[in-house]
Amino acid sequence: MIQLKDLSKSYDHPVLKSVSFSFPDQGIIALKGPSGSGKTTLLRILAGLEKPDGGSVSGLAGKKISVAFQEGRLLPFMTLLDNLLLVRDKAEEDREEAIKLLRFFRLEHAADQKPGTLSGGEKCRAALARSLYYGGDVFLWDEPTRELDADNRTLVREAMDRLKSKALFIVSTHDPDLETDGELTL
Ligand code: ADP
Ligand code: MG
């Protein structure tokens, strides 16, 4: 179980103020709160990219973490398919699985295109496909439904639903239709 205890983080002003929360091992937990409330900061702390000023995070040891960043972060000089294949060791590469994930996210037509030619929504879905292809025990998805229309938001919910009995999704989102197992409001 991942636990936050009195977690705090300030930049030029306090962002996380003594946040305590217990995440289940599986399921979907939504991070809520207005823009600037610290959702991305918390996800970055969970990903080990940022250090809290105070408090603790426990329960992450031995867990494989997969991140889909708010801004996608696809490598611009590689095709979508190669962006996926890159995140696994050569020995564990599975082209079919990568293509299946791109197909699931309605990106098969773009497999051989570079991110620069894609729409914001397509890039966002590609980043989610890459995160799923990487795999993990904990998926940290930052605003995965931003820039997506209703149909594509359904896809994102479906992707989480398929895996939620085996993995934990910590998702910052404003999607009112996402059924979650709990919420943490910042
Ligand atoms: P959210 O994701 O909820 O919109 P963020 O976690 O991105 O919020 O940001 C929370 C606050 O922390 C904002 O005021 C933001 O400007 C500030 N902040 C985030 N990262 C940094 C940073 N690296 N340096 C300075 N301020 C930051
Ligand atoms: Mg954010």
Give DSSP secondary structure letters for 101-114: HHHHTT-GGGTTS-
Give the Cα separation of 129 and 116 in Å (integer): 17
Give the Cα separation of 19 and 106 in Å (integer): 37
Which of 13, 41, 50 for mutating ligand 1's site (highest number of atoms within 8 Å of CB)? 41
CA of 95 to the centre of ligand 2 (A): 32
- Looking at the predicted structure, is the pLDDT value of residue 176 above 90? no
Residue 171, H or E segment: strand 168-172
**Protein residue whose Cα sits closest to atom 22 of ligand 1:** 11
Whole-number percent of the chain with pLDDT over 90: 90
Could you identify the atom of ligand 1 that is nearest to the CA of residue 43?
6
Whole-number Cα distances in Å, 119 to 24, 123, 136: 35, 6, 27
CA of 66 to the centre of ligand 1 (A): 21
**Protein residue whose Cα sits closest to atom 15 of ligand 1:** 36
Q: Which residue has the higher pLDDT, 69 or 165?
A: 165
CA of 12 to the centre of ligand 2 (A): 17
- Looking at the predicted structure, is the pLDDT value of residue 181 above 90? yes
**Protein residue whose Cα sits closest to atom 26 of ligand 1:** 11
pLDDT, tens digit (0-9, with 9 covering 90-100), for 27-41: 999 999 999 999 999
Listed in sequence order, the residues at least 6 apart from 54 whose beta carbon sits closer than 8 Å to its beta carbon are 6, 7, 8, 18
Q: Provide the whole-model pTM.
A: 0.95
> What is the number of the ligand closest to the CA of 44?
1
**What would the mean pLDDT of 26-55 be, rounded to a whole number?**
96
